Amino acid sequence: MKIVSWNINGFRSLMSRSFLDAFNALDADVYCLQETKLQSGQGGVDIPGFHQYWSYADRPGYSGTAVLTLREPQGAYTGVGHELFDAEGRVITLDFGSFYLVNCYAPNAAPDLSRLAERTEWDAALLAFLQALDADKPVVLCGDLNAAYNDADLAGKQQGMHVPGFTQEERSGLTAILNAGFIDAFRHFHPDGKAGDFAYRKGIRAMGMDYFLVSKRFAEQLADCRVHNRVKGSDHWPLELVIRE
């Protein structure tokens, strides 16, 4: 199974440019999209054979996630059980029988770090949600987690500790997931690589904030993880995970 995770930075704008070309070129079984910026009834995409799951933010033109999948899941759920964050359409979970797939668009701490406390609350809610799922079966978490825990994921890292996405609090939030029994799939295959996107943060050009974090006991099922850094259409690059079945 090939899964692609991609922050598309607005579904309607991407559709007007290059989504279908990118969709065909990536040739995945499952597409996990973040920052769709759609609300119910604002349109989608008709792709034969694909089941579609959407989660919308109450606020117009904000946040939102979607999953397009060839394989119909046994179940599909939205949210993490937190009223504030669930109103922002940030999480879709699919039950594929042998594992859960969680598509996530995490909130950012804001340029002035005014939402850092809220982000810390999110990290705790997400961790509790993942641990509950992981107690049942392995979990594949993907998406734009809006933070980087590894120095290699930040260009200009001498500035990094004071910018959103790389504060100690945000790094600790991601590290807590890893310490709870998850692995970073990209670094599992490319320990010295860089999964940077083009998310601009106060003059820092690239910060890798897109991840596949996978239950450690599921590692033997992983075949590859890589960045599609030539795919256009967003300020993020698609990240791909291949699972053996």
Report the distance separating Cα 118 and Cα 164, nearest Å.
13
- Token readout for 101 is 């797939």
Instruction: Give the residue numbers marked as catalytic.
Output: 105, 144
The terminus-to-terminus CA distance of the chain in angstroms comes to 7
Report the distance separating Cα 78 and Cα 103, nearest Å.
9
Neighbours of 156 (CB within 10 A): 14
Q: Helix (H, G, I), strand (E, B), or coil: what is residue 93? A: strand
- Token readout for 77 is 């759920």
| Residue 151 CB burial class (10 angstroms; 0-12, 13-18, ≥19) | exposed
* Strands in 79-152 per DSSP E: 91-95, 100-105, 139-144
φ, ψ of residue 97 to 5 degrees: the values are 90, -65
Report the distance separating Cα 218 and Cα 227, nearest Å.
21
